[in-house]
Structure 1
């Protein structure tokens, strides 16, 4: 029971990580715009990678605006969130392989990695939306990638933006319910 109390505290004080998800919406919206451009796929992939550099400062700014405490230094699990986020970087060799060997598929790999990396946050924040939305994001992106067959790739990041917004709304509802019970 004590562990659930700690996880719910993370959920409430960190607002289920919504600041980071809102930053992801901005980044993936930028990526959508990049993939709308009439430029070579290699350039799109480079710009896509560069856009991710905005993630952390943007997430910090948004977290400050919405008054979400993402550090949670007094919570024994507080630093785990940072490790879970850094774990996504471990998957970047797959993305780099795709950029080199299959440039048209790199956006699909990146979107699947992004969606899938949310799964452990279900445990971290004691929030069911992460458990459900992470596999939905990954599977929807995979099928969309199979359907698109290398054309209209802008639909991949746009779809991820939409799914992220759904996750944010659901996580906000989860956060509000936990806040009201406190």
Structure 2
């Protein structure tokens, strides 16, 4: 099919099939946040915060490695929605100064901030992938960061990443269900 003759719906369908709704990125995030859960048990707060800020930048590259291993084509050069998805993901780089500011002035609120800002970036993928799973991921990540990171500040570095990891894992299961339904 000619690139110019494709409809938006065809681009979305192609993206859904090739990228498998981006589940390897979520798997990467789930693994990394699960690892973050245990950091406060072995390290003091200052290095934990720095690992959080730097570790967030590992999610996407690790996700790409998982994509390669699972034969998932997330970065399709022939689909403009892939470019849009990449732009949405890349916009998170602008959150880094916020994370640094929170780290310098209120480090105990870093899980709250990362959870809310990071979780909110998933909302556009609901449209790109025609996926209610991404609405669940957005609301689950943001609400758990809001409640656990805002009200249980003392345990936030353990509770927020654990909740995020669980939300992502449930989101992956929902995506698998959607992919199965889409295939029928």
Q: Structure 2 length as normaliser, TM-score?
A: 0.89
**Structure 1 equivalent of residue 104 of structure 2:** 100
SS in 2 for 1:150: helix
User: Could you list the runs of 5+ residues in structure 2 that have no partner in the other structure?
Assistant: 1-5
- How far apart are the structure 2 equivalents of 1:155 and 1:124? 30
Q: CA RMSD in A?
A: 1.8
**Structure 1 equivalent of residue 23 of structure 2:** 18
Matched-pair contact (CA < 8 Å) for 1:4–1:126: no
User: Could you list the runs of 5+ residues in structure 1 that have no partner in the other structure?
Assistant: none
Is 1:151 the counterpart of 2:155? The answer is: yes
**Structure 1 equivalent of residue 173 of structure 2:** 169
**Structure 2 equivalent of residue 34 of structure 1:** 39
- How far apart are the structure 2 equivalents of 1:23 and 1:11? 18
Change (3 A) 1:136 1:52: closer
- What is the count of residue pairs matched by the alignment? 179
Q: Structure 1 length as normaliser, TM-score?
A: 0.90
Map 1:1-182 to 2 at 5 A: 2-37=7-42, 39-151=43-155, 153-178=157-182, 180-181=183-184
Offset of residue 175 of structure 1 = 1.7
1:102-121 superposed Cα distances (whole Å, 9 cap, x missing partner): 01111221122221111111
Change (3 A) 1:158 1:3: same
Offset of residue 158 of structure 1 = 0.5
SS in 1 for 2:123: coil
Matched-pair contact (CA < 8 Å) for 1:34–1:48: no
Offset of residue 152 of structure 1 = 5.4
- How far apart are the structure 2 equivalents of 1:153 and 1:55? 18
- How far apart are the structure 2 equivalents of 1:72 and 1:152? 37
Offset of residue 142 of structure 1 = 0.4
